[in-house]
């Protein structure tokens, strides 16, 4: 895992040398948060109107006030960030990222050679914080938001490429946003309502049980 973060940093350094053949729009995390928070409100309104609710839907509604409040608070903070300034920073530094830096897109050769990165279809004009966030969140979720592991992942990346203040701020807000909650309700809302996957219920319970650890990690890293 730590080698993957080192490979990520090397990729980001190399990507500053990319010469795009056309002007790519800069991805601004605040826009995505706005969209996700609107969707959270829409699903809540749908659930409230339901006359008959499944156990999963009742559990979801029970937790909704907490996670929706978090989503709205972080979205409000992201709204205070300057989108033009962020876009100018990305363009002036020639920044690009993989866009979907997940562990299943990292190949470890059996012969001990260099790591291979695949599936660049989400290649984007954004800071390295986007890729870092994706892999960091995935691994942290599977390790109960371990502070020790979080510090090791940060070191593995920053030993090769330092996150600048504007990237650090975007990482703070991305991690603070309850994206896993949005993913759960988005999957639920866009699937067949007559049958709710038991796996979705497990994910919700896992999210709830890990929330205290997640907040402790955020407090440790960002104060």
71, 76, 77, 78 alpha-carbon torsion, rounded to 10°: 80
Please check whether residue 126 is in contact with residue 101, taking contact to mean a CB–CB distance below 8 angstroms: no
pLDDT for res 36: 98
pLDDT for res 194: 61
Please check whether residue 139 is in contact with residue 149, taking contact to mean a CB–CB distance below 8 angstroms: yes
Distance between CA atoms of residues 102 and 88, nearest Å: 27
pLDDT for res 193: 64
> What's the token pair of residue 50?
């339901």
Q: What does the angle CA 97 – CA 33 – CA 184 come to, to the nearest 5 degrees?
A: 95
For 28-115, list the strands marked E by DSSP. Answer: 106-107
Q: What is the pTM of this model?
A: 0.92
pLDDT for res 196: 67
pLDDT for res 139: 96
For 69-183, list the strands marked E by DSSP. Answer: 106-107, 116-117
Mean pLDDT for each 10-residue chunk of the chain (223 residues)? Answer: 94 86 89 97 95 92 97 98 97 94 89 85 95 97 96 97 97 97 93 72 94 97 90
């Amino acid at each position: 895992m730590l080698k993957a973060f080192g490979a990520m940093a090397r990729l980001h350094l190399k990507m500053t040398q990319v010469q795009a053949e056309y002007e790519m729009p800069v991805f601004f995390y605040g826009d995505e948060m706005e969209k996700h928070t609107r969707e959270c409100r829409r699903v809540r309104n749908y659930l409230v109107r339901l006359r008959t609710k499944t156990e999963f839907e009742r559990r979801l509604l029970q937790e909704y006030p907490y996670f929706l409040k978090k989503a709205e608070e972080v979205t409000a903070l992201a709204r205070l960030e300057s989108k033009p300034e962020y876009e100018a920073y990305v363009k002036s530094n020639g920044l690009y990222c993989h866009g979907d830096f997940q562990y299943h897109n990292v190949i470890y050769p059996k012969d001990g050679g260099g790591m291979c990165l695949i599936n660049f279809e989400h290649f984007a004009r954004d800071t390295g914080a986007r890729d870092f966030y994706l892999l960091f969140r995935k691994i942290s979720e599977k390790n109960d938001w371990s502070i020790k592991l979080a510090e090791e992942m940060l070191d593995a990346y920053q030993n090769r490429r330092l996150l600048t203040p504007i990237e650090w701020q975007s990482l703070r807000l991305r991690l603070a946003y309850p994206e896993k909650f949005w993913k759960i309700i988005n999957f639920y809302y866009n699937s067949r309502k007559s049958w709710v996957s038991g796996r979705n219920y497990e994910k919700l319970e896992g999210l709830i049980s890990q929330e205290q650890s997640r907040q402790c990690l955020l407090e440790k890293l960002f104060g």
